[in-house]
Amino acid sequence: MEKAEILLRQGNYQVSEVANIVGYSHLSRFAAAFKRQYGITPS
């Protein structure tokens, strides 16, 4: 999740791309995990 946060803050990738980079094949699962970790949605 830390790598995902860094990539999202850089703004060079879409949320779906970041999800794939960090190993999630389903965007909804990535979004749920990110929200659990950080309290906000990845978008």
Q: 27 near 35, Cβ under 8 Å?
A: no
- What is the model's pLDDT at position 43? 86
Question: Looking at residues 12-19, what average pLDDT do you find?
Answer: 96
Q: How confident is the model at residue 32 (pLDDT cuts 50, 70, 90)?
A: very high
Mean pLDDT of 13-17: 96
Q: Which long-range contacts (CB under 8 A, 24 or more apart) does 33-36 make?
A: 33/1, 34/1, 34/4, 34/5
pLDDT at 21: 96
Claim: this prediction has a pTM higher than 0.75 = yes
